[in-house]
Homo-oligomer: A and B are copies of this chain.
Amino acid sequence: MNDTSFNSRDCGTCPIRHRAVCSRCEPDELEHLDDIKYYRTYEAGQPVIWAGDPMEFVASVVTGIATLSQTMEDGRTQMVGLLLPSDFIGRPGREHAPFDVVAVTDLTLCCFRKKPFEDLMGSTPSIGGRLLQMTLDELDSAREWMLVLGRKTAREKIASLVMIIARRDAALHKRLPKDGMEFDLPLTREAMADYLGLTLETVSRQISALKKSGVIQLQGKRQVHIPDLQRLVSETGDDVDGGHIF
């Protein structure tokens, strides 16, 4: 319940202002959004929504990380989305949540009551347009993820995940990924396993293997150091050039 600065209701100082669903809004449009928004915080490990629950709001992730996942009756679970700051939760025009949303770290959401948000979207093209763009981007990354799940080996899966996190970390600091970069793996071994369609034991083994062959170096369990980015890319199995422009 520690209200940090971004909880000031001031969109001007919002850390996700330039990337979130509201990024194209003019000042007067922001005011309308402001009328229907409220912040909500969750502790690490807490559920945000269960699949099937009625959704009374949509939201942007302001700080922290959440996961979107599905679980079968027998307990097998597959992560289907990794929600980082500026990502959008929920969908206009649907009553019930299709997947579970869980806070992985402490989490702050900027929530909008669903009905008013839908109305506002109807009258504000800059919101709908931005949401379409974000959704198309997510669809593209979901499709890349499908290649990882369906066709890559365990080692390639781990290398791909490290690379994805490296890219996002670099983007967060507004620079390109480069040799020697360091960053944190924000997920437990089990969460990585759920992300990649593996068991946590396999994740652990492959991380050890990548460490032993010098592709990555570890400080502690979570801090990663990449001596040679090109080497890591080649371990992902992806085309060395094309595809990822940024």
Q: Does A174 contact B (CB under 8 A)?
A: no
B147 engages A146 (CB within 8 Å)? no
A239's nearest neighbour on chain B, judged by CB, is B73
With a cutoff of 8 Å between Cβ atoms, the chain B residues found around residue A136 in the complex are: 91, 93-94, 135
**How far is B93's CA from A131's CA once the two chains are assembled, in angstroms?**
13
With a cutoff of 8 Å between Cβ atoms, the chain B residues found around residue A76 in the complex are: 151
A143 engages B80 (CB within 8 Å)? yes
A68 engages B197 (CB within 8 Å)? no
Q: Does A78 contact B (CB under 8 A)?
A: yes
With a cutoff of 8 Å between Cβ atoms, the chain B residues found around residue A106 in the complex are: none
A78 engages B135 (CB within 8 Å)? no
Instruction: Return the contact of A139 from the options B52, B78, B139, B149 (Cβ within 8 A).
Output: B139
Q: Does A180 contact B (CB under 8 A)?
A: no
B78 engages A146 (CB within 8 Å)? yes
Q: Does A142 contact B (CB under 8 A)?
A: yes
A135 engages B139 (CB within 8 Å)? yes
With a cutoff of 8 Å between Cβ atoms, the chain B residues found around residue A139 in the complex are: 135, 138-139, 142
A147 engages B73 (CB within 8 Å)? no
Instruction: Return the contact of A132 from the options B99, B132, B237, B238 (Cβ within 8 A).
Output: B132
Say whether, besides A52-B242, A73-B239, A125-B125, A146 and B151 are in contact (CB < 8 Å).
no
Q: Does A46 contact B (CB under 8 A)?
A: no
**How far is B80's CA from A143's CA once the two chains are assembled, in angstroms?**
6
Q: How far is the CB of A26 from chain B (nearest CB, A)?
A: 16
**How far is B124's CA from A233's CA once the two chains are assembled, in angstroms?**
42
Q: Does A196 contact B (CB under 8 A)?
A: yes
**Interface bits A84-108 vs B (CB < 8 Å: 1, else 0):** 0000000111100011000000000
- Provide 9 A-B residue pairs closer than 8 Å at the C-beta atoms, listed in order of the A residue: A70-B143, A72-B239, A73-B239, A74-B237, A98-B143, A98-B243, A142-B143, A146-B149, A150-B196
Chain A interface residues (CB < 8 Å from chain B): 51-52, 68, 70, 72-74, 76-78, 80-81, 91-94, 98-99, 122, 125, 128-129, 131-133, 135-136, 138-140, 142-147, 149-151, 196-197, 237-239, 242-243
Give the top 5 A-B pairs by smallest Cβ distance, nearest first: A150-B197, A80-B143, A149-B149, A142-B142, A78-B150
